[in-house]
A and B are shown apart, each in its own frame.
Chain A
Amino acid sequence: MNGAQQAALAARKKDIRSRWLLSTPALAIIFFAAVGPLFVMLLYSFMAKGDYGDVRFGEFSLDGWTSVFFQRDIFDDTLGFADAHLSIIWRSIQLSFFTTLLTLLLGFPTAYFIATRPPHTREIWVFLVTIPFWTNLLIRTFAMQQVIRNEGLLNNALIWLGVIKSPLQIMYTDTANLLGMTYVYLPLMVLPLYASIEKLDFRLVEAGYDLYATRFQVLRRIVIPLVKPGLVAGSILVFIPSLGAYVIPRVLGGGKNMMLGNLIEMQFGSGRNWPLGAAMSITLMALVMVALIVYVRNASRGGAGHA
């Protein structure tokens, strides 16, 4: 080996060392305060529950996992489905799905409209979407409460208009959850959609019209397939936080309209069943993973033909 090769090798080694050294602080913090705890939680889900929260160390138990889905009858000790848990899980999935749908119905036309403005105006529209997005989630949830509570803006306006006589009870219902989540997560749908519509080649749209397509056909057969990556990204960004929503159902949904996030919290708080809470958290993560895989599969299948 000659000198030049040796020097190159040494430089390479130094480069490898420095890039690992440089990324160590970030990786270490994330491992300590984000990824690592997830593994500890996985262990906890397989331990016996302690009497006052926590777990009994070293005592292996599957109770946490079985009680996510099943419950023992207090009278005859038979195992039945845990209806309360399952209905909350089902509600979370349904509400997240409808939230995604609603944000899509509002977000797509909005993103399209913004993307077809002149460049300078576009920037201002996007900025206006960004402001609510960076506003504290709790504050936005709380702001929604100002609109839908019994003496809130919506009811006052409807009564004033003579549409209804007494206020509609929207707070503490599933509708409140749905409206709150749609409101809070709407920017997460608009922004990625906008990014992909902005890149759309409108000559293709024009070609469609030249071939006598109607506006609806152009939208369905040309625009939507081409902006699918943005559509998928937006849907993931809305669906995932909706599934794990905690603050919105707590403030707007009340005790009867809990979602999975609140159920998990309950096991760590008053329920004092940490293994169950841990198992539920992992269930939630599994649901998120399934959603991600379905979306990504869809995206790669739809996107490949147009790339």
Chain B
Amino acid sequence: MLRSRFDVRAQPGFGLVTLFTFFALYLPIGALVIYSFNGADSLSRWDGFSTRWFVTAWQNAAVQDAAMRSLIIAIWAAFLATVAATMAALATTRTEPYRGLTFKYALINQPLMVPEIVTAVALLIVFSRIKVWTGYSGLGYLIAAHTAFCIPFAYLPIRARLESMDLTLERAAADLYATPWMTFRHVTLPLLRPAVIAGFMLAFVISLDDVVITEFVKSGGQDTLPTYMLGQLRRETSPEINAIATVFLALSTALVVIFFFINRKQATERN
């Protein structure tokens, strides 16, 4: 047998660890999906393939309600976060460095640095006070909280895109007497669109996934899908939760796949 050429990049055993890592990453998710097709009444035994728990979950009014609420909050939060983040990204890239810029960066990324549970209880303190003062207990608190922690996620791809964009077109527009607004509307925004879509989708997935902050901020009867599932886990877990989790999983995977392809398209366009 021919001795293979010495590969400077290879490290012995790393391939095996990688294999184990991917096995470990996908085994639990795989198990969850498989168990969700269990026909039995409990998780303890396997009773043949069945989709009955998907049907049960679909017809469960509490689940429908929570899913609807999750969607409404995620759409609002992602929309507001994307608009605010796009504006902030313009303010932090289309300008000379100035005093206060570092401070702005720190503030915009702050939600990433503080443990979620801390933000959650801090919001509980403030919002419960505002609830007493104003008597308002709608979805506004949840949307505000979600918007805040979604902003850094929307901000990152948009800023990255703005920084890598060629300024000549914007300058040309300005030379042709376009107002800043016209330049933005007809030059910057079309070039920025993929990043804005990516930012919106990241924010949407992040909002959809949130458990901890929602759990503390929500008023009575304002369950989202994740907090509904968390509440159900207190009792004996039923295969119905598995079915809901599987659908949720499929949905967020689909979004991430779309995001991946948008990103890739953007990358190839740049080259």
Contacts and interface: CB of A to CB of B under 8 A. Distances in A.
A26 B85 contact: yes
A268 B80 contact: no
Contacts of B229: 138-139, 142
Interface string A12-43: 00011011111101110111111111101100
A46 B153 CA distance: 34
B11 A112 contact: yes
Interface residues of A, number: 88
Contacts of A277: 121
B117 A281 contact: yes
B123 A33 contact: yes
Interface stretch (A2-10, A75-83, A127-135, A299-307): A127-135
A256 B219 CA distance: 28
Given A34-B111, A146-B35, A278-B121, A109 B13 contact: yes
Contacts of B183: none
A38 B114 contact: yes
Contact of A26 (B14, B45, B108): B108
Interface string A269-284: 0000010011001101
Contact of A142 (B87, B111, B233): B233
A158 interface: no
Which of A27, A32, A37 lies at the interface centre, i.e. has the most chain B CB atoms within 10 A of its CB? A37
A140 interface: yes
Given A130-B260, A137-B211, A106 B24 contact: yes
Interface residues of B, number: 89
Contacts of B266: none
Contacts of B45: 151
Interface stretch (B49-57, B60-68, B141-149, B162-170): B141-149
Contact of A244 (B27, B116, B241): B116
A278 B123 CA distance: 11
29 contacts: A23-B87, A25-B84, A25-B87, A26-B155, A27-B104, A32-B144, A33-B144, A34-B111, A34-B148, A34-B149, A37-B119, A109-B14, A109-B21, A112-B14, A113-B11, A113-B18, A116-B10, A127-B260, A136-B226, A139-B32, A142-B233, A143-B245, A151-B43, A187-B25, A215-B12, A243-B115, A244-B116, A250-B230, A277-B121
Given A18-B180, A246-B120, A265-B117, 16 more contacts: A19-B91, A30-B108, A30-B110, A33-B148, A54-B128, A113-B11, A113-B17, A127-B260, A131-B253, A134-B255, A143-B31, A146-B43, A186-B25, A187-B25, A190-B21, A243-B115
Interface of A: 15-16, 18-23, 25-27, 29-38, 40-41, 44, 54, 106-107, 109-110, 112-114, 116, 123, 127-132, 134-140, 142-147, 149, 151-153, 183, 186-187, 190, 202, 205-206, 209, 215, 219, 240-241, 243-244, 246-247, 250-251, 261, 264-265, 268, 274, 277-278, 281-282, 284-285, 288, 292
